[in-house]
């Protein structure tokens, strides 16, 4: 597995940050995944992101390993893969927000920031005078985004939450997994922390919408993002299936509830997926498999009929695929314009010619003396390329640098460090 320095349309190094958000400053008070994911999106887009962490400990995800990044001697660093996935492009400063000195540092940072991201439990930062009302009183142009499990209102507002819990509570696990009564049947979580990631995406969209509004009004805003809200919203077609029919969506394995045939099929030498999206693609599939008559069969001629008769159709398809070599049938379907493919492992993903051509795997020089692999952003801009010039930072790596930019002299910095404020 090899990595490139940066994908096409991105700039790897240089003295000045580029990207469409290079005019914005972000104060990132968040940890774990959802809000830091949003911070990384903004950093990839060129924003200056200062990540505030607890002295001595830092973001919880720094210790969520193994695996950990290994240094030039082959020894584990303190940087877990989990942390490295969501914090590139940021500068790290350690601040103890439970001290008056630390609180003043955060206020000073907020005065020069456009956006604040935080994911403390509701009401926590109010105790320190760092809540949205306090910081927006200092900087009326500030956009202050709070990301929590359940939002700032409601009976669960004070409770902590994690992705796994919200996948369950938000209905995702009720529609994910094999059908009950079949081998392996039962609820399953998604293999990546999808609620955290989607919450980060909604957070990034929200703060950028507030930036656009501020450009017209001159004032910032306070944004309330709840992970449970995000998961309810992303039930999408499954929610609407229930709301228009009154029926409770069920786990259906890999089969799509509304479009067929879409499922996993076993070939003679391995599994593949088939994704037929319309009647024309089904007719092409039938021709490739040597059963053109299926496209005229009243049970299968339209998508609605295929969904109603999927049991009969699935049996025919499994028989047809079962005696064929996977590579041969995928090649034939590709030539016919029918979406299909192998089920790749993660290493196979990065070896895929399309993924390699898009430069999705890259590497960056890390202070530990090694290259740290990174998965590139999927965003591509023709005229404002993304910039990858900062690897995920060491804990407090930029504390002195950032404080100097705030006007703190060396003596003051030393006093803060001696008092445990940084």
Catalytic positions? 196
- Worst-scoring range by mean pLDDT, 11-20, 101-110, 206-215? 11-20
Strand 90-94 relative to strand 48-53: parallel, antiparallel, unpaired? parallel
Predicted pLDDT of residue 139: 98
Which DSSP string corresponds to 30-97?
--SSHHHHHHHHHHHTT-EEEEEE-TTT--GGGGS-SSEEE-TTS-EEEEEHHHHTS-TTEEEEE--T
Predicted pLDDT of residue 14: 43
Residue 10 has pLDDT above 90, yes or no: no
Provide the percentage of residues in the chain whose pLDDT is more than 90: 91
Nearest CA to 282 out of 261, 265, 257, 304 is that of 261
Report which secondary-structure segment, H or E, holds 319. helix 310-322
pTM of the entire predicted model: 0.90
Whole-angstrom Cα distance, residue 268 to residue 288? Answer: 17
332-336: average pLDDT:
97
Whole-angstrom Cα distance, residue 95 to residue 117? Answer: 15
| Structural domains of the chain, ranges and CATH numbers in brackets | 10-234+362-418 (3.40.50.10540), 262-348 (3.30.1540.10)
The tens digit of pLDDT for each residue in 265-277 reads: 999 998 999 999 9
| Phi-psi region at 147: left, alpha or beta (left = phi > 0; alpha = psi -120 to 50) | beta
Residue 15 has pLDDT above 80, yes or no: no
């Amino acid at each position: 597995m090899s990595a490139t320095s940066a994908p096409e349309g991105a700039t790897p190094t240089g003295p000045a940050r580029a990207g469409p958000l290079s005019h914005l400053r972000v104060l990132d008070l968040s940890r774990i995944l959802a809000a830091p994911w949003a911070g990384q999106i903004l950093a990839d887009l060129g924003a200056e992101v200062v990540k505030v962490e607890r002295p001595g400990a830092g973001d919880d995800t720094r210790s969520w390993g193994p695996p950990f990044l290994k240094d030039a001697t082959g020894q584990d660093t303190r940087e877990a893969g989990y942390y490295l996935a969501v914090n590139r492009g940021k500068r790290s400063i350690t601040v103890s927000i439970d001290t008056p000195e630390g609180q003043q540092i955060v206020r000073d940072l907020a005065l020069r920031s456009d956006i604040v991201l935080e994911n403390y439990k509701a009401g926590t930062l109010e105790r320190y005078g760092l809540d949205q009302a306090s910081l927006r009183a200092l900087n009326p142009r500030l956009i202050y985004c709070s990301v929590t499990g359940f939002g700032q209102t409601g009976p669960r507002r004070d409770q902590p939450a994690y992705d796994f819990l919200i996948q369950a509570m938000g209905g995702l696990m009720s529609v994910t997994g094999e059908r009950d009564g079949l081998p392996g049947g039962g609820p399953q979580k998604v293999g990546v922390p999808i609620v955290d990631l989607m919450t980060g995406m909604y957070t990034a969209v929200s703060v950028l919408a507030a930036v656009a509004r501020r450009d017209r009004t001159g004032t910032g805003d306070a944004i309330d993002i709840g992970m449970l809200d995000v998961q309810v919203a992303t039930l999408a077609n499954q929610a609407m299936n229930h709301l228009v029919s009154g029926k409770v969506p069920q786990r259906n394995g890999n089969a799509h509830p509304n479009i067929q045939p879409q499922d996993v099929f076993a070939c003679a030498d391995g599994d593949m997926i088939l994704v037929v999206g319309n009647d024309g693609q089904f007719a092409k599939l039938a021709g490739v498999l040597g059963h053109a008559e299926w496209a005229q069969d009243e049970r299968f001629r339209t998508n609605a009929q295929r969904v109603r008769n999927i049991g009969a159709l699935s049996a025919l398809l499994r028989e047809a695929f079962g005696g064929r070599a996977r590579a041969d049938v995928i090649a034939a379907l590709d030539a016919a314009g029918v979406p299909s493919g192998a089920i790749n492992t993660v290493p196979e993903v990065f070896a895929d010619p399309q993924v390699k051509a898009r430069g999705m795997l890259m590497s960056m020089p890390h202070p530990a003396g090694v290259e740290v692999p990174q998965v590139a952003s999927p965003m591509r801009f023709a005229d404002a390329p993304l910039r990858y010039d900062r690897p995920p930072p060491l804990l407090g790596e930029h504390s002195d640098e950032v404080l100097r930019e705030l006007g703190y002299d060396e003596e003051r910095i030393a006093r803060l460090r001696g008092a445990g404020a940084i």
